[in-house]
Amino acid sequence: MNASWETLTQAVKECTDCRLCERRTNTVLGEGKPDADLMFIGEGPGRDEDLQGRPFVGASGQLLDRMIHALGMERCDVYICNIVKCRPPMNRNPEPDEAGACIKYLRQQFLLVRPKVIVLLGKVAMRYVLNDVRPISALRGQFIEKKGVWFLPTYHPSALLRDPSKKREAWEDFKAAKEKLKELTGDV
């Protein structure tokens, strides 16, 4: 699929490639700056995201927005998306076949945005983007370069809400992502 934003959006809306389409209210492609240097990838939409058709708008998204703001940036300066584009039931993690059905859309988002740094929010994003099944703690805070793009796994905002003791490490990762961006682009 060689997509424009319009064709990609339409393809996701019409997608029936896995069972997640059966219960969705809205698909959640992503949002933000269409050519952002910094991309955030989470696991999948929750209840609020499914209702609004926007990524990271619930409690986790509010925390993510505050962290981005603390970096001196806003949601509109970055691109935010998820591994799967439809809500898994009961907010469970996406199954491998569901993630596999959606990965083509994530690849197209990547090709359209062309980010320089990608922050992987949680183990699900790390698993499906880096093909690594280790716990997030094994790679958290370590940059991994692939084909000129820098990936940085860190905790998902929902994990920070459940365990606030992880916020310091996640904040250090966010600052490292901004520094890497500055190193690569000369600004930010």
Which ranges in 15-95 belong to alpha helices (H)? 47-52, 59-70
- Is residue 133 within 8 Å of residue 158, measured between CB atoms? no
Which pLDDT value is given to residue 69?
A: 98
Paired tokens of 154? 């860190």
Cβ contacts of 143 within 8 Å, gap of 6 or more: 150, 151, 152, 176, 180
Measured in whole angstroms, the distance separating CA 68 from the mean position of its chain's CA atoms is 13
Give per-residue pLDDT as tens, 166-188. 999 999 999 999 999 999 998 76
Average pLDDT over residues 45-59: 96
Which pLDDT value is given to residue 3?
A: 75
Can you list the domains of the chain with their CATH numbers?
5-185 (3.40.470.10)
pLDDT of residue 1 exceeding 60, the answer is no
Say how many C-beta atoms besides its own lie within 10 A of residue 11's C-beta: 18
CA distance 72 to 100: 35
Give per-residue pLDDT as tens, 82-124. 999 999 999 899 999 999 999 999 999 999 999 999 999 999 9
CA distance 164 to 167: 5
